[in-house]
Structure 1
């Protein structure tokens, strides 16, 4: 594990401010990872990794600087350069390119003036299609320069000038993208619902399905509704490809869907809705460790399941949508595993549980106490004998109690 003393001041400040910093090296290759995306999310993801990973900090911030210079969002460029200056002050990219900044600022203003002037002309001529396209161009321009509020207003203004269902679909899709970047999940959900209510030919329905399914998955994920998020992600059409690469990749669908399912579904649902799902299997092939983790859980191999997930925790802590959910998702999977492990027994020693879940007795006891207090585990702990006792009868005891003719004498549910 990296020592905090060796961290650049930039990351030390973030730790002091209460921000997450991942000290261990992740498995991901930054260049390969970012190549899965297009548009503004490339910068967002690079910046987050640069702000979070001690191992990839410099590389990611340099990538963020380069991504910013490919676009027209001057404020993003300044943010990335300022961060890089604190991490690697001697790096050539850490020097603010004033010439680029000034030229880009002038170009942005000129483009804004031109698009607004053209739109004004279209409005004077009362040509609906020209007005719609003018608002679309202006919205895309505002999105590219990072003025999300103006982009949303411009796209929303297209509504009165849409003359086909395809126009409405395109408008709502653009509002979904803006909403995701704004983390305005209500807007995302509303526009998904509008698209779903449109009468569309089967071909358009198929093309749009991955966008709508993954958008709703992100909506549910953001609200910590992991079960509904899982259902949305696992329903994604495998023909997705790069259709929504400005937001999410097929690999993300596998990871988000798999983790949400593992944290919220029972063994039967995991088998039928995830592992046996022929469509989602295509996504799981991109992230085979997620499939293995789910299979381990379904086969009651809880330790292997948790070990598999733990190996990728550092990567998921660097993900723009997953980061804040990782602790809760992992806690739920671990808690479910402990509950499932405990079901067949009326009494389990803390030592055996600690061994099964790769921890020590003291930590295991604390973990069980928390689960009992939260109502997750129906059990009690005998601290003197270091055992955990079930408060409910085991399946075998339930059978014997309900079939007295087959019952052995003195069989009673644990007290």
Structure 2
């Protein structure tokens, strides 16, 4: 962990202002991480990492400066250079390139004037398709220079000139990207619902389904609706690839979906909707530690699950969409693990719980008190004997569950014995077959219907054969 005294002054200032700063070195490789994305999100992610990570601050801010200079958004370039000046004043990139600024500003103004002039001409000619395309070009230009409000207005203005469902689909997809960039999640959900109400060909459905599910997943994640976020993300078609790389990568789908599922789904749902989900399994292969964490939880290995997640907490704190949810997601997963651990017991010592969750007794007791106060855990703490005990209501419920489990085990044992008996009968050649031309009568034995057919019918001639006595014994309800 980096010492606070060794931090750049601007990071110290951010800590004092209450901003998140990650002092530990992350596992991610910045260059490999950013290569998964395209468009404006590359700058956004570099800039967030530069303002959050003490280890990657300079590298990330230099990458942000370079990304800004590849585009035409001068305000972003100025912001990145200003941040880099505070982090590394002597770096060559920490000085504004005034020539680039002036040239870019002139280029942007000329392009804006040209597109607006062309659009005006299209409107005078009353050609709907030309007007639609002109507004689309103008919206893309505004989006590139960072004027998101004007981009949204331009894209929205396309609606009156859309003549096919494909036009409406394209318009809504562009508005979704603008909404995500603006963090206007209501607009994102609205446009997703508009697309879902359109008639689409199978090819179009395969193309847009991953975009719609990930967009809705991000919208629910932003509003801390983790269950709905998980349901949308785990349903994402694995053909997502790089078609939505200006917003999200397949690795992000695995991470966001896995964490949201762990925090909001029970063990059975995690098994069926996450681990056994053929679509989501493709994403989990990209982030094997998420798959291991879910598997550990399903197998009641809670400490291993939490340990696997804790190893990547620093990386998640640098994620533009995930960082403000990491603390809550991890708290929910840990709380749920503690609840699941306690379910089989009527009482358990605090020392054993502290050992199971790799902490000390004092911290464990404080954590349990908070969970009880918040209504997460229905239990009581015996501070004198250092015990966590279940409430009478929980104890009755647990007794009922145990009784039901014992009854199920007894029924299973009875069924298994009957099946073994039938297997022994067949193995010993004592299976009885009905005479030809007759329908054998079946006989219920404790819910199991044995089928009597086999070698017995071949012994002797008809009912007078050597095993007729055995056959009549069975038909009359006799015992083997």
Question: TM-score band, normalised by the shorter chain?
Answer: over 0.9
Partner of 1:139: 139
Separation in 1, partners of 2:200, 2:404: 56
| Counterpart-to-counterpart distance in 1, 2:405 and 2:178 | 62
2:333 equivalent in structure 1: 333
Q: Matched residues in 2 for 1:383 and 1:155: separation?
A: 63
Distance 1:283 1:48 in 2: 25
For 1:400 and 1:318, locate their aligned partners in 2 and report how far apart those are by CA, in whole Å: 45
Q: Which residue of 2 aligns with 1:92?
A: 92
Quote how far apart the aligned CAs of 1:142 are.
0.3
Which whole-Å CA distance do the structure 1 matches of 2:319 and 2:120 have between them?
Answer: 42
1:134-175 Cα offsets, whole Å, 9 max, x none, are 000000000000000000000000000011111101000000
String of CA shifts for 1:49-106, please: whole Å, max 9, x gaps: 0000000000000000000000000000000000000000110000110110011001
* Distance (Å, rounded) in 2 between the aligned partners of 1:41 and 1:178: 11
Structure 1's consecutive aligned runs of 4 or more residues displaced over 6 angstroms after TM superposition are 400-405
For residues 238 and 370 of structure 2, the distance between their equivalents in structure 1, rounded to whole angstroms, comes to 40
Aligned-residue offset at 1:258: 0.3
> Shift of the alpha carbon at 1:390?
1.1
Structure 1 residue 260: deviation in Å? 0.2
Distance 1:389 1:116, change over 3 A: same
Q: Look up the SS of the partner of 2:112 in the other structure.
A: helix
Distance 1:402 1:50, change over 3 A: closer
CA deviation after TM superposition for structure 1 residue 402, in Å: 8.0
Correspondence list, 1:15-414, <5 A: 15-391=15-391, 392-393=394-395, 397-398=399-400
For residues 246 and 96 of structure 1, the distance between their equivalents in structure 2, rounded to whole angstroms, comes to 27
Measured in 1, the distance between the counterparts of 2:406 and 2:221 equals 48
Cα distance in structure 1, aligned partners of 2:198 and 2:121: 31
Sort the Cα spacing of 1:250 and 1:396 in 2 relative to 1 into closer, same or farther, 3 A: same
Give the unaligned 5+ runs of structure 2. 408-480
Q: Deviations over 1:365-397 (max 9, x none)?
A: 000000000000010101111111111217663
Q: Deviations over 1:171-225 (max 9, x none)?
A: 0000000000000001000100010011011110111000000000011101111
User: What is the TM-score with the length of structure 1 in the denominator?
Assistant: 0.96
Provide closer, same or farther for how the CA distance between residues 401 and 270 of structure 1 changes in structure 2, counting only shifts above 3 A.
Answer: closer
How much does 1:10 deviate?
1.0
What residue number does 1:409 align with?
none
1:380 is paired with a residue of what secondary structure?
A: strand
Q: 2 CA distance for matches of 1:110 and 1:5?
A: 48
User: How far does the alpha carbon of each residue in 1:301-348 deviate from its partner, in whole angstroms, 9 at most, with x for none?
Assistant: 000000000000000000010010000000000000000000011111
The separation in 1 between residues aligned to 2:384 and 2:15, in whole angstroms, is 40
Q: Separation in 2 of the partners of 1:82 and 1:27?
A: 27
User: Which residue does 2:463 correspond to in 1?
Assistant: none
Unaligned runs of 5+ in 1: 406-415
Structure of higher RCO (CA pairs closer than 8 Å, 6+ residues apart): 1
1:207–1:401 distance in 2 versus 1, CA, 3 Å: closer
Between the aligned partners of 1:400 and 1:68, the Cα distance in structure 2 is 63
* Higher gyration radius (CA): 2
- How many aligned residue pairs are there? 405
CA root-mean-square deviation: 1.4
Report the counterpart of residue 408 of structure 1 in structure 2.
none
Q: In 2 relative to 1, CA 10–309 (structure 1 residues): closer, same or farther, beyond 3 Å?
A: same
Superposed CA offset, 1:266-311 (max 9, x none) = 0000000000000100000000000000000000000000000000
* Alignment check: 8 A CA contact 1:296 1:302 kept: yes
Helix, strand or coil: the match of 2:389? strand
Q: Secondary structure in 2 aligned to 1:158?
A: helix
